Structure 1
Amino acid sequence: MSRRHAVVPLWFLFALALLVSAPGTVRADDFDISLLPPILAGPPLSRDSDGDGLPDLWELRGYTVGGAYVNLPALGASPWHKDVFVWMDYMVTPGSVNLGPSQTVIDNIKAVFNNAPVTNPDGTTGIHIHPVLKNQVPYAETLGIKNDYVQVWVDFDALKNNSFETAYAPSFRYMIWANTYNQGTSSGLARGIPATDFLVTLGGWQTVGGTDWQKQGTFIHELGHCLGLTHGGSDHINYKPNYLSVMNYSFQTWGLYRNGHWGDDGYPLNFDYQRLNTPSLDKASLQEGLGLTGADDVSAYGTVYYYVSGDYYYNQIATNAAGGIDWNHNGVIDTSPVSADINRSGGTTGTLTAQNNWPNINYSANGQIGPTAGEARRKATSQEMPEELRHELDFETQRQMDTARPSAQP
């Protein structure tokens, strides 16, 4: 009996070789992946195995826009491990102060995200963040004018459009290490929540451009807004003692107090988003003996809370969040409920809720990263910037916090 042999078409063999070849062998002029038939293009654009907003196809083969090839695999992308890409431009002052980050800052940012408690299809935890330092942009004393946030982004876009390669827009967030904006000393600014554009602006701080710790904390804070995180976790209320996150102004430039150390004592991993659940706090009925117990284990953490004395708020540090906390600052741990304005909001009523940040990261920025980036970004940037982002931590407030920063007490 004769045996028939299946004939394998040459186009199939070519497609198979293309899919299994090393990503770095593909050149920009080889093909436009978005135009290839499915057998050549690999998995559909809808497949995103690691959930980072970037299609598997892009992370395996790269992609092209207008003939320009973006080789994401060569930049470290993997379809089985979450990736976040950030294009970083920077200014240099007339006095030759480089406002950009040192390699130490970049390495510390990478370490924080690599230490994130998020799972991946490759069986490991963490996020691979790729903060790519790119171009020096023309120095501007300030972006925008006082209280005009529209002009801030007009000036920002003028710099961005002359530096940022548009082919990178579907996969990269964009930021500038700038001097100031709105003629003030605000530490930074994000374009929205979520968003893809942000600023770090520490030019008006005591150390021009900020210390390495201030740069690290502010970058992670503003990027956090772009990733969908807010000042209060569940809302925009700031200074919550139960919100153990660099998104909280109390921890933005110091880092968290964890395992007996502040982040700026030399512990870069303490510049962290909240990674556990904490109990809600009823400001009108605070149980001092409970501290922050009642949800996940917080025994490794301390926290910062506020009390009023005369006409001023003072910050106080409790080094053991799992122990008793003297919320009303009367020198004893009361056994009956007390009321106190522990987050300097102007009142002693209201319930403060927090958020476990890492499970709530918005990787695609509501579609501004990925195949729908163009239309999603046009829609997002046409909207007015949220009011909650218009009063970011400034130097004057940080100086008051530093001046009142007590030595850690139990």
Structure 2
Amino acid sequence: MLQRIGAKWSRMLCTVATLWVLAVPPAFAEQSSTRTNETTARPAAGWTTGGGTVDGIATPLPEFRLNLTAGRAVTITTSAASTGSDPVLHLLTTRGVQLAVDDNSGGGTNARLSYRPSVTMTVIVALRARTTGTAGTANLLINGAMWRPAVRFGGWQLQVQNLRANETIGTIRLPNGAGPSHIMYVLKADGLGVERWQSGGGVAGATSYRPTVALGTRRLIIAVPSSGKSGPVRFFRNDTGLRAHDPDNDGLGTELETALGTCSNLTSVARNFECNRAADARDTDGDGISDGWEVLGRGDVWPHQALPLWGANPLHKDLFVEVDFMLRAPGETAQRMSPTVARQFASVYQDEIGTTSALIKAYHGAVLVNPDGLAGVAVHMDTGVAPAMPADATLYGDWGGYTAVPPVQASDGSWGGVHPDVSWKTNMAAARRGIFRYALPYSSGGGSVALNSFTWAAGIHGAFTLAHESGHAMGLDHNGPPAPAGVVDANCKPNYPSLMNYAYLDGTVGFADGLNTPVLNNAALREWRAVAPSNTAMLDKLQNAYRYYVDRTAGHVDWNRDGAFAPEGTTVRAYANLRPGTSCEFTRQNAAPLPAAASTQSPAMARLSDRLYVFYSVLGQVRYNYSTSSWNCPVPASTPCGTWNDWTAPGMDAQGGIDVERINGYTRTPQLLVVSIDHEGKLWQARLTRQRIGGFEHETFSTPTLIPNSSPASGAPSLAVMGSCDTYLTYKGTDNIIRYRRFTCTGGWEAEQQALTPGGTAIGTAPFSFPAITRVYLPHRPGEPGIYGAFPNVDGYLEIWWLDRTTGRWVKTNVLESTPWERVEGRAAMAWVPSQNVDPYPGRFYLMYVKHDSTPNRAYRDLEREVRMLQSYTRVTGTPGSLIRKEVVGLSSPFDNVWFYAFGIDLLYEQGVDTNLRMVDSIAINKSNVWATIELRPKADGIQDYNYRNANDWETVRLGVCRNVVNPGGTVSNPITCP
């Protein structure tokens, strides 16, 4: 992108180079140049009006120091001048005052000068070419003796006219250009002697000179020292010192701004750019950085900020970032961002991923309001790493800012990294405020950044994660621009192709532009002709990443994953924005914490009459809350759509755990069966009933009684109701062998049995895992309800077993899509959700569990107990005409995101009552305000009645690139005004 800008300016430069009557536009983003033009070969007509820039090639102008003795004459000559060269000798004081000059007195084109000092002194012997085209090599002799053989000399010469008092002329360092310092000679009116010798005075080794008197027409020589590197250089002529020539106070005169195409006020037109589109005349492109700094660099602070050297362009938005490194423990090795990561990061902002259409790129450039009309934001990062190739010179470099930030020790003795919001204040130079943003990556891990932030952090090796987090700093959320207050948008939207979207965080897309995708609503999804067949990118993503069955020819999408496309004119309900394996977060809406409820064990949930009950264990004792709200939240929001009553403590020991189910048929009144395991491993039971007496509802919790003849149990129990008067209970013994019992109306509790395989082998589980059972439909016995167990094996890996109620044995199924690779902690939760409100089958099976964290020596509160979700679906494979459909349990994903931890969970769905799957959890996130709290997730299936759309990220980036850099921490005086 930047090279294209350079080419554009190059073409314009070639057009006017031979006349050079007006200021020539600069090649702002040009990274290298080997071209010459007529102005470098001979003086041109000159500028009749001041203000402008021109690029050329600076070559060596060697300057040697020589000690002279008072009264002793010295003769300096050149010899053996190379063919076509014409050396000129200057003798200067160390302050640049000319003592002598000669061109051709040495015979032919050789120079010869003599000088007798009146005092002992040190002088400078300078050797330059007479014109740009007469550079070459020559020997230097002193008093006839060889002093410096084969000295290379040159210098780029140009001519200016009408050089006025208080104009500033000088040089600008360019990427891959001449340097690290420049020399500028202002010649006398005769074009031979030196009027002004200027070394430095500009930004980062460049030159700058403001004459106090008018000089008229003068020739200039721009060069590098003999030890420097030849290369491109930019000469500028700035009229800012003239009266009323800088109305916007950006350090650029109006003539120079006219030549550059930048704004000096908000009412004019700069080339084709209407300046009233800028919010601040000092910042034409709206990136928050002053035009003056982008054109000249910033030399009024230390260290100098050489923005042009690093690629700044006042007509195209720039993003400057200092990339330090966060050390998080003593002895950790400091790292730097690699060139590969830097290039990948930049490709996102520079609109180089996915976008190929010239028309679309032009649209992106228009959205960004880049005055040059080009797409993207140019990225420039100080990574502490020198560019690996010339093309990298403006992208990243070692620009003097990199710091490995030491770790800090907390009061408890633990070590950690300094937060970037703290680090920048001491580790980023004050000179960079208003120019650079601040990134503080670390060795590994994800990131967490507040919206509209000056800083961000993430793992240093993840380019697209770093870009994602920087997008948050720009103001982008996981669904695009932040939704209005009170409105909750979706993550993982398949119709939002942006790296801000967790489902697209794979490097295949950059920022979204809001074009060409349909509106979706999980409560009413059209499967027939869901996506335009021409939108191959979206169909590719749906098929390969979201793993949907699609008909690419017609654009059909099997959103509910039942293996068929719902007919035209109908809709289905599904968690359409669930990308398997991804943290899609659309299950958190309307979450409702229970008042004063907390537990470090699995809660249990059941409904009785019009009340939803949640039971849990607090310090080994049962408590419960109830709600009379429906929890059929009509609008997804960050606030609850119902309320809870205060807790009740009925007096029941539940040290090991608790479960509850509604049972029917035992009495005329439905009741809740509550089963707990106490501190001694004994199993207890109680009933909660509600009866209307005298026109009022009365709630009764029976006195707990022991479940007779049970082996000592460990962990939490699990209940499942097969039908009226038919309830099952499972638990594990202290020997980690799974046991189960059945309760019927006529026989009460049947004898305890070990869970045995058909071959008679006892089924065991891991010490940290508990068995769970439910009544459900699974493909093991299609269309037939049964008691199924989620039994982690002895290593803790999930297995699904079916109870053969005829034999009393358990059969291991093969319904899991793949071999589990995560261990289960505690008791899993399961539920069945019918597809329709009439028939119980077909439907969807849900299974959720807490992942076991076996990290050695990790503190109890720091254990990562991630909640995972599986569900049944029909997997369709093969090709059209020979498709294979198989119902499996899979699509393993975080229930919320990978940072949502819980001690335990329970699920509930009651056909005809609930609109969505309900989930209750006890949170295990190590924060004081949420630790062990219990909450209800009323839409745990992710099916929200909400229209979600694509978004145009570039609109937010346009604003964010400016707003969050101009005045970090309120430390910049008179900051740029942003759009």
Q: Which residue of 2 aligns with 1:337?
A: 571
Q: Which residue of 2 aligns with 1:83?
A: 318
Is 1:39 equivalent to 2:278 in the alignment? no
Residue 274 (structure 1) aligned to one of 509, 512, 515 = 512
Q: In the alignment, is the contact (CA less than 8 A) between 2:511 and 2:953 conserved in 1?
A: yes
Q: In the alignment, is the contact (CA less than 8 A) between 2:407 and 2:416 conserved in 1?
A: no
- What aligned pairs does 1:221-260 form with structure 2 within 5 A after superposition? 221-234=468-481, 235=483, 236-252=489-505, 254-255=506-507
Is 1:159 equivalent to 2:159 in the alignment? no
Q: Which residue of 2 aligns with 1:316?
A: 547
Q: CA deviation at 1:327?
A: 0.5
Classify the secondary structure of the residue corresponding to 1:106.
helix
Residue 193 (structure 1) aligned to one of 413, 433, 451 = 451
Q: Return the letter of the residue paired with 2:530.
A: G
The whole-number CA distance in structure 1 between the counterparts of 2:380 and 2:302 is 24
- Unpaired segments of 5 or more residues in structure 2? 1-47, 51-160, 174-181, 183-201, 210-237, 258-263, 265-279, 353-360, 385-401, 484-488, 579-585, 587-939, 974-979
Residue 104 (structure 1) aligned to one of 337, 340, 361 = 340
Is 1:369 equivalent to 2:965 in the alignment? yes
Q: Kindly tell me: are residues 322 and 137 of structure 1, through their superposed partners in 2, closer, same or farther at Cα, counting changes over 3 Å?
A: farther
Classify the secondary structure of the residue corresponding to 1:131.
strand
The whole-number CA distance in structure 2 between the counterparts of 1:289 and 1:334 is 6
The whole-number CA distance in structure 2 between the counterparts of 1:239 and 1:128 is 27
Q: Return the letter of the residue paired with 2:513.
A: R
Classify the secondary structure of the residue corresponding to 1:108.
helix
Q: Kindly tell me: are residues 17 and 229 of structure 1, through their superposed partners in 2, closer, same or farther at Cα, counting changes over 3 Å?
A: same
Q: Which residue of 2 aligns with 1:27?
A: 203
Q: In the alignment, is the contact (CA less than 8 A) between 1:141 and 1:179 conserved in 2?
A: no
Residue 58 (structure 1) aligned to one of 264, 272, 293 = 293
Query: Once structures 1 and 2 are overlaid, which stretch shifts more, 353-362 or 75-84?
Result: 353-362
Q: CA deviation at 1:271?
A: 4.0
Q: Kindly tell me: are residues 239 and 322 of structure 1, through their superposed partners in 2, closer, same or farther at Cα, counting changes over 3 Å?
A: farther
Q: CA deviation at 1:199?
A: 0.3
Q: CA deviation at 1:375?
A: 2.7
Q: CA deviation at 1:69?
A: 2.8
Q: Which residue of 2 aligns with 1:172?
A: 436
The whole-number CA distance in structure 2 between the counterparts of 1:223 and 1:144 is 31
Classify the secondary structure of the residue corresponding to 1:334.
coil
Is 1:114 equivalent to 2:350 in the alignment? yes
Q: Kindly tell me: are residues 152 and 377 of structure 1, through their superposed partners in 2, closer, same or farther at Cα, counting changes over 3 Å?
A: farther
Residue 956 (structure 2) aligned to one of 360, 366, 372 = 360
Q: Kindly tell me: are residues 223 and 322 of structure 1, through their superposed partners in 2, closer, same or farther at Cα, counting changes over 3 Å?
A: farther
Q: Return the letter of the residue paired with 2:492.
A: Y
Q: Kindly tell me: are residues 156 and 360 of structure 1, through their superposed partners in 2, closer, same or farther at Cα, counting changes over 3 Å?
A: closer
Q: Kindly tell me: are residues 141 and 47 of structure 1, through their superposed partners in 2, closer, same or farther at Cα, counting changes over 3 Å?
A: closer
Q: In the alignment, is the contact (CA less than 8 A) between 2:348 and 2:467 conserved in 1?
A: no
The whole-number CA distance in structure 1 between the counterparts of 2:502 and 2:492 is 6
Q: Return the letter of the residue paired with 1:188.
A: G
Q: CA deviation at 1:105?
A: 1.3
Equivalenced residues, count: 320
The whole-number CA distance in structure 1 between the counterparts of 2:290 and 2:346 is 22
Residues 365-385 of structure 1, C-alpha deviations (whole Å, 9 max, x = no match)? 563323x5553889xxxxxxx
Residues 187-206 of structure 1, C-alpha deviations (whole Å, 9 max, x = no match)? 0122x3222200013xxxxx
Q: CA deviation at 1:89?
A: 0.8
Is 1:133 equivalent to 2:383 in the alignment? yes
Residues 349-406 of structure 1, C-alpha deviations (whole Å, 9 max, x = no match)? 2221220212331455563323x5553889xxxxxxxxxxxxxxxxxxxxxxxxxxxx
Select the structure with the greater relative contact order (CA < 8 A; seq sep ≥ 6): 1
Q: Kindly tell me: are residues 73 and 275 of structure 1, through their superposed partners in 2, closer, same or farther at Cα, counting changes over 3 Å?
A: same
Classify the secondary structure of the residue corresponding to 1:188.
coil
Q: CA RMSD in A?
A: 4.1
Q: Kindly tell me: are residues 143 and 197 of structure 1, through their superposed partners in 2, closer, same or farther at Cα, counting changes over 3 Å?
A: farther
Q: Kindly tell me: are residues 74 and 276 of structure 1, through their superposed partners in 2, closer, same or farther at Cα, counting changes over 3 Å?
A: same
Q: Kindly tell me: are residues 91 and 325 of structure 1, through their superposed partners in 2, closer, same or farther at Cα, counting changes over 3 Å?
A: same
In the superposition, the TM-score normalised over structure 2's length comes to: 0.29
Q: In the alignment, is the contact (CA less than 8 A) between 1:303 and 1:321 conserved in 2?
A: no
Q: CA deviation at 1:65?
A: 5.9
The whole-number CA distance in structure 2 between the counterparts of 1:14 and 1:126 is 40
The whole-number CA distance in structure 2 between the counterparts of 1:247 and 1:160 is 25
Q: Return the letter of the residue paired with 2:955.
A: P
Classify the secondary structure of the residue corresponding to 1:87.
strand
The whole-number CA distance in structure 1 between the counterparts of 2:324 and 2:548 is 36
Q: CA deviation at 1:115?
A: 2.9
Q: In the alignment, is the contact (CA less than 8 A) between 1:60 and 1:78 conserved in 2?
A: yes
Classify the secondary structure of the residue corresponding to 2:346.
helix
Q: CA deviation at 1:97?
A: 5.8
Q: In the alignment, is the contact (CA less than 8 A) between 1:244 and 1:303 conserved in 2?
A: no
Compare the two structures and name the one with the higher helix fraction: 1
Q: In the alignment, is the contact (CA less than 8 A) between 1:368 and 1:374 conserved in 2?
A: no
Q: In the alignment, is the contact (CA less than 8 A) between 2:322 and 2:438 conserved in 1?
A: yes
Q: Which residue of 2 aligns with 1:326?
A: 558
Q: Return the letter of the residue paired with 1:343.
A: N
Q: Which residue of 1 aligns with 2:307?
A: 72
Is 1:298 equivalent to 2:551 in the alignment? no
Classify the secondary structure of the residue corresponding to 2:571.
coil
Q: Which residue of 1 aligns with 2:823?
A: none
Q: CA deviation at 1:272?
A: 1.0
Q: Which residue of 2 aligns with 1:267?
A: none
The whole-number CA distance in structure 1 between the counterparts of 2:286 and 2:346 is 19
Q: Kindly tell me: are residues 81 and 326 of structure 1, through their superposed partners in 2, closer, same or farther at Cα, counting changes over 3 Å?
A: same
Q: In the alignment, is the contact (CA less than 8 A) between 1:99 and 1:177 conserved in 2?
A: no
The whole-number CA distance in structure 1 between the counterparts of 2:443 and 2:417 is 14
The whole-number CA distance in structure 1 between the counterparts of 2:575 and 2:480 is 19
Residues 161-184 of structure 1, C-alpha deviations (whole Å, 9 max, x = no match)? 34211211211110111147xxxx
Residues 307-354 of structure 1, C-alpha deviations (whole Å, 9 max, x = no match)? xxxxxxx95356869822110001112122111122352342222122
Residues 203-233 of structure 1, C-alpha deviations (whole Å, 9 max, x = no match)? xxxxxx65xxxx0110110111122211111
Classify the secondary structure of the residue corresponding to 2:245.
helix
Q: Kindly tell me: are residues 337 and 155 of structure 1, through their superposed partners in 2, closer, same or farther at Cα, counting changes over 3 Å?
A: closer
Q: CA deviation at 1:112?
A: 3.1
Q: Which residue of 2 aligns with 1:284?
A: 523
Q: Kindly tell me: are residues 317 and 73 of structure 1, through their superposed partners in 2, closer, same or farther at Cα, counting changes over 3 Å?
A: farther
Classify the secondary structure of the residue corresponding to 2:345.
helix
Structure exhibiting the larger radius of gyration computed from Cα positions: 2
